């Protein structure tokens, strides 16, 4: 590390805006070079930051990519309509169209792909997915507080199914699902499929 780099590195630690500058640089590199041309080196050059600065905050290329991805995804907010069905349907529709209509879909696909052969990327993705399940589970927890969803339900299990549905649509190029198709999937989770009175549902339904 040169003195200049060291100075910037210490500056970065002290200046919270540096993280934002690095994320902006990372976003530009990604847009211009694509994810194949994306590297910590290229981001460091663009941000005029030292590689150690970047590595201190992001342990891997995948971790940095995930933060850029999340930054682009901040417009995909969790709906809060007062109906858990509307919340789930709107959330899924927004997410699928965001992936389809912005570079986000292709970025996230490449992160998932990289995580299948790179241990650090796998860790970053698993941590990200865990965090998203907590966020998505918030929609279910709110519905529980309203009394719409039973207290025996684990919001994280429902969130896991919701995310899984979205991921599998992204990974198999099915981002064009109709409103009806998304709603049909949501209704399986909301209403179940077993007829009232049949054995399996006897414990939870009257």
Residues 106 and 36 sit within 8 Å (Cβ to Cβ): no
Residues 38 and 59 sit within 8 Å (Cβ to Cβ): no
Helix pair 40-47, 61-72: axis angle to 10 deg:
60
Distance in angstroms (rounded) separating the CA atoms of residues 132 and 163: 8
Residue choice 14, 74, 147, 178 for contact with a copy of itself (CB under 8 A): 147
Angle (nearest 5°) at CA 171 between 39 and 59: 30
The answer to the question of residue 191 lying near a copy of itself (CB under 8 A) is yes
Q: Give the nearest distance from C-beta 22 to a copy of itself in angstroms.
A: 26
Q: Give the nearest distance from C-beta 148 to a copy of itself in angstroms.
A: 5
Q: Which is nearer to a copy of itself, 54 or 92 (CB)?
A: 92
Q: Which of 82, 80, 92, 79 is nearest to 187 (CA)?
A: 92
DSSP 78: P
The answer to the question of residue 15 lying near a copy of itself (CB under 8 A) is no
Instruction: At 8, list the tokens.
Output: 């910037």
In terms of Cβ atoms closer than 10 Å to its own Cβ (0-12, 13-18, 19+), residue 79 is middle
Q: Which of 174, 138, 142, 173 is nearest to 156 (CA)?
A: 138
The answer to the question of residue 85 lying near a copy of itself (CB under 8 A) is yes
The answer to the question of residue 198 lying near a copy of itself (CB under 8 A) is yes
Q: Which is nearer to a copy of itself, 9 or 87 (CB)?
A: 87
Q: Which is nearer to a copy of itself, 5 or 86 (CB)?
A: 86
Only one of the segments 2-10, 16-24, 65-73, 77-85 lies at the binding site for a copy of itself (rule: CB under 8 A); that segment is: 77-85
Residue choice 165, 176, 178, 179 for contact with a copy of itself (CB under 8 A): 165
* Number of residues this chain uses to bind a copy of itself (CB under 8 A): 57
- Residues binding a copy of itself (CB under 8 A): 83-85, 109-110, 112-117, 122, 125-126, 129, 140, 143, 147-150, 153-154, 157-158, 160-161, 163-165, 167-169, 171-174, 181, 184-185, 187-196, 198-201, 204-206
């Amino acid at each position: 590390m040169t003195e200049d780099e060291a100075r910037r590195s210490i500056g970065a630690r002290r200046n919270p805006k540096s993280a934002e500058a690095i994320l902006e640089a990372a976003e530009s590199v990604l847009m211009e070079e694509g994810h194949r041309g994306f590297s910590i080196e290229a981001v460091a050059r663009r941000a005029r930051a030292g590689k150690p600065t970047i590595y201190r905050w992001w342990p891997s290329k995948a971790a940095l990519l995930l933060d850029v991805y999340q930054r682009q995804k901040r417009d995909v907010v969790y709906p809060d309509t007062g109906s858990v069905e509307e919340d789930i349907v709107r959330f899924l529709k927004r997410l699928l169209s965001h992936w389809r209509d912005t570079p986000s879909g292709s970025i996230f696909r490449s992160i998932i792909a990289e995580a299948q052969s790179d241990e650090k990327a796998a860790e970053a993705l698993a941590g990200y997915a865990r965090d998203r399940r907590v966020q998505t589970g918030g929609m279910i927890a709110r519905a529980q507080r309203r009394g719409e969803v039973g207290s025996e339900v684990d919001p994280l299990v429902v969130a896991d199914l919701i995310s899984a549905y979205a991921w599998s649509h992204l990974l198999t190029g099915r981002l064009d699902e109709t409103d009806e198709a998304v709603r049909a999937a949501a209704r399986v989770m909301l209403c179940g499929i077993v007829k009232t009175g049949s054995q399996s549902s006897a414990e939870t339904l009257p």
